[in-house]
Amino acid sequence: MAGLDGLNRSLLRRYQQLCDDVDTRKTHYFLGRYENTYISKHRIPEVSQILDRVIARAADQTGVPTDKLQAGFWFNAMGLGHTTTRHRHDDDDELLSAVYYLCVPEDSGNLLLYTEASPLVIEPVAGLLVCFDPTCEHEVTRNNSDHLRLSIGINVGPYPAPTD
């Protein structure tokens, strides 16, 4: 994607403007912070550039046409001392999970993807997009930086979502 620095700056500005807005939803309160901050796509339309890329990747991997896929997303803001505990994203109908990094200060934590052999350690940088199977357990190590680390978590599933 061209212009990642500009896109990241724009997304960061929007996040900062909207993160504490009355229409913003926060969930998963663990260890003194909300792990997930949900801002509606219509309030932060720049995120579509990233979501479209992840949907295209999911279509390539699954054979499901892009018009039959949808992506949900949330922001994950980590300050000094924050971690994200080991978890996975296969609660519903997810076909692909991803994380996109906006702000990654030095020593702000690594992504650990657990494989059968050993954890795969990914040292993130701003602009990096990592896609993985929703059944893959993963976590983020401690942010030892005094600065905010900001990423976008993404899940792709069928559209419309199946009903029971």
What's this model's pTM, rounded to 2 decimal places? 0.93
* 120: Cβ contacts below 8 Å, ≥ 6 apart: 112, 113, 114
Render pLDDT for 7-33 as a digit per residue (tens, 0 to 9).
999 999 999 999 999 999 999 888 788
Give the pLDDT score at 26: 95
- SS3 for the chain is CCCHHHHHHHHHHHHHHHCCCCCCEEEEEECCEEEEEECCHHHCHHHHHHHHHHHHHHHHHHCCCHHHEEEEEEEEEECCCCCEEEECCCCCCCCEEEEEEEECCCCCCCEEEECCCCEEEECCCCCCEEEECCCCCEEECCCCCCCCEEEEEEEEEECCCCCC
Give the pLDDT score at 4: 86
Query: How confident is the model over 158-163, as a mean pLDDT?
Result: 73
Render pLDDT for 68-113 as a digit per residue (tens, 0 to 9).
999 999 999 999 999 998 999 988 889 999 999 999 999 999 999 9
Give the pLDDT score at 1: 47
Look at the domain 4-158 and name its fold.
Answer: Jelly Rolls (2.60.120)
Give the pLDDT score at 161: 61
Tally Cβ neighbours within 10 Å of residue 3: 10
Q: What is the amino acid identity at position 158?
A: P
